[in-house]
């Protein structure tokens, strides 16, 4: 008898909590490393958060905290969210990886999602975007549009994600023009308009006639516009900075991913994973192809469609490393593990990779 009452109480408690869950909105919380109006990385994440907030209506409330330094402060900011009743916490900088893992251990009922890292746990997912797919497309466009056969690349930090981008760009270009060359300048910053502009000028003076960047300010686009050459936008559509200059831009569209993952929490289907979405999932999109002849545009659209369908993998052999040794055999595609730890250039990069 006692047992039965206990069972009934338990059942009631479970039903009660389940219906409470259905009524309460899921709380999604975001920890940003920069300012949400930085015009680049953090802003792209915040636009994703706002999309989730608007499109998912009453089912979701969102919170955020910005300008959190990586280190001891990050752990506090993440834990503050975890203990304040957030159901899912997105931490959007690589340096938040270990703090996220540490806090997640203490709060097993809260879901965590960490961007651009490699560690996961039962309640921690790692997510990233296959930016390199977009880089391959813009590489092809660059090779078609360039007269000198040399492009300039303004790079931030020599981490695998950036190295992937450089290699994918060059492989795309070489698929059009096998002799295409690439010059790289490292500015050691994600956002520094002054340094980026200087790098752009230096590259143009060295004879490049097309620019691309893995940094977040619009300064290179503006320099390219002044000097009358073409360039590609990064993270956001930068067409306003160079209406006659931008060919296309690789736009981070995190909203699609955030909505998918928050919905999984609502449905109770959330599971830990290593997520690395690409063009086909809508986590990155190409800005309109402009300022180029129709045949180049047609080629870019065709490549984009092939990458989405899985017909084309940007890292497909034969590919040699910069030192001339074979990396990928004919027809072989790179595995994700190698890409995630990429610390070498492919053949044709006119630069020594900082180690």
Partner 1 sequence: MRLELEKRSEHSTFYSIASPFIAIGLTLIFGAILFAVIGKDPAEALYIYFVSPLTSTWSLHELAVKSAPLILIGAGLSLCFLSSNWNIGAEGQFVMGAVFGSMMPIVFPDVQNTFVLPLMIIMGMAGGAAYAFIPAFLKTRFGTNEILTSLMLVYVAQLFLDWLVRGPWRNPEGFNFPESRTFHEYAILPEVLESGRAHYGAVFAVLAVIGLAVLLSKTLKGFEIQVAGQAPRAGRFGGFSAAKMTFFAFLLSGALAGLAGISEVSGAVQQLRPVVSPGYGFTAIIVAFLGRLNPIGVLFAGILLGISYLGGEEAQIVLGLSDKITRVFQGMLLFFVLACDTLILYRIRFVSTRTPALAMGEN
**276 touches partner 1 by CB under 8 A:** no
Angle between the 160-176 and 131-145 helix axes, to the nearest 10 degrees?
Answer: 40
Q: How many residues bind partner 1 (CB under 8 A)?
A: 33
**321 touches partner 1 by CB under 8 A:** no
Could you tell me how far CA 317 lies from the centroid of its own chain? 24
**194 touches partner 1 by CB under 8 A:** no
**118 touches partner 1 by CB under 8 A:** yes
Instruction: Provide, rounded to whole angstroms, the least separation between the CB of residue 159 and partner 1.
Output: 6
Q: Is 354 exposed, middle or buried (0-12, 13-18, 19+ CB in 10 A)?
A: exposed
Query: Nearest CA to 244 among 228, 257, 260, 255?
Result: 228
Q: Name the one range near partner 1 by CB under 8 A: 42-50, 126-134, 157-165, 231-239.
A: 157-165
Angle between the 294-309 and 131-145 helix axes, to the nearest 10 degrees?
Answer: 160
Q: Residue for token digits 């593990």?
A: 337
Q: Name the one range near partner 1 by CB under 8 A: 50-58, 94-102, 165-173, 295-303.
A: 94-102
**107 touches partner 1 by CB under 8 A:** no
CB of 187 or CB of 239, closer to partner 1? 187
What Cα–Cα distance (Å) separates residue 291 from each residue in 174, 194, 251, 310? 21, 26, 18, 28
Choice from 15, 159, 298, 305 touching partner 1 (CB under 8 A): 159
**25 touches partner 1 by CB under 8 A:** no
Supply the DSSP symbol for 346: B
CB of 117 or CB of 233, closer to partner 1? 117
Is residue 334 within 8 A of residue 167, CB to CB? The reply is no
CB of 66 or CB of 281, closer to partner 1? 66
Choice from 107, 157, 274, 308 touching partner 1 (CB under 8 A): 157
**83 touches partner 1 by CB under 8 A:** yes
Instruction: Provide, rounded to whole angstroms, the least separation between the CB of residue 267 and partner 1.
Output: 26
Query: Nearest CA to 62 among 34, 32, 93?
Result: 32
What residues numbered 63-82 form the site for partner 1, per CB under 8 A? Answer: 63-67, 69-73, 75-77, 79-81
CB of 19 or CB of 84, closer to partner 1? 84
Q: Where are the beta strands (DSSP E) in the chain?
A: 26-31, 60-65, 88-91, 111-115, 124-129, 150-155, 181-186, 210-213, 230-235, 246-252, 274-277, 284-286, 319-320, 326-328, 349-350
**228 touches partner 1 by CB under 8 A:** no
CB of 27 or CB of 133, closer to partner 1? 27
Is residue 225 within 8 A of residue 242, CB to CB? The reply is yes
**292 touches partner 1 by CB under 8 A:** no
Instruction: Provide, rounded to whole angstroms, the least separation between the CB of residue 77 and partner 1.
Output: 6
Instruction: Provide, rounded to whole angstroms, the least separation between the CB of residue 112 and partner 1.
Output: 17
**54 touches partner 1 by CB under 8 A:** no
User: How many other C-beta atoms can be found within 10 angstroms of the C-beta atom of residue 196?
Assistant: 25
Angle between the 97-106 and 72-83 helix axes, to the nearest 10 degrees?
Answer: 40
**350 touches partner 1 by CB under 8 A:** no
Residues binding partner 1 (CB under 8 A): 63-67, 69-73, 75-77, 79-81, 83-84, 94-95, 98, 117-118, 157-160, 340-343, 354-355
């Amino acid at each position: 008898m006692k047992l039965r009452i206990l069972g009934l109480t338990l059942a009631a408690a479970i039903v009660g909590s389940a219906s409470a869950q259905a009524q309460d909105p899921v709380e999604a919380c975001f920890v940003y490393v920069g300012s949400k109006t930085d015009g680049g990385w953090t802003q792209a994440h915040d636009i994703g958060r706002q999309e989730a907030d608007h499109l998912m209506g009453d089912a979701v409330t969102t919170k955020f905290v910005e300008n959190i330094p990586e280190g001891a402060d990050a752990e506090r900011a993440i834990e503050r969210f975890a203990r304040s009743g957030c159901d899912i916490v997105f931490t959007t900088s690589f340096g938040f990886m270990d703090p996220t893992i540490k806090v997640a251990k203490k709060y097993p009922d809260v879901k965590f999602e960490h961007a651009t890292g490699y560690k996961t746990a039962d309640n921690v997912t790692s997510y990233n975007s296959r930016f390199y797919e977009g880089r391959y497309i813009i590489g092809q466009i660059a090779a078609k549009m360039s007269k000198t056969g040399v492009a300039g690349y303004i790079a931030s930090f020599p981490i695998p994600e950036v190295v992937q981008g450089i290699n994918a760009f060059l492989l795309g270009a070489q698929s059009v023009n096998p002799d295409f060359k690439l010059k790289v300048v490292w500015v050691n910053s994600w956002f520094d308009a002054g340094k980026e502009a200087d790098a752009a000028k230096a590259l143009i003076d060295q004879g490049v006639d097309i620019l691309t960047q893995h940094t977040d300010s619009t300064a290179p686009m503006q320099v390219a516009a002044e000097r009358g050459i073409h360039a590609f936008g990064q993270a956001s559509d930068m067409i306003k900075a160079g209406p006659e200059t931008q060919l296309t831009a690789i736009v981070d569209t995190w909203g699609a991913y955030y909505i998918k993952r928050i919905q999984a929490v609502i449905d109770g289907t959330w599971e830990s994973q290593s997520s690395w979405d690409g063009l086909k999932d809508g986590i990155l999109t190409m800005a309109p192809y402009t300022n180029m002849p129709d045949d180049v545009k047609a080629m870019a659209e065709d490549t984009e469609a092939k990458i989405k369908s899985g017909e084309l993998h940007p890292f497909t052999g034969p590919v040699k490393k910069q030192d001339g040794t074979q990396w990928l055999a004919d027809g072989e595609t790179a595995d994700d593990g190698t890409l995630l730890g990429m610390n070498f250039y492919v053949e044709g990069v006119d630069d020594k990779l900082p180690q």
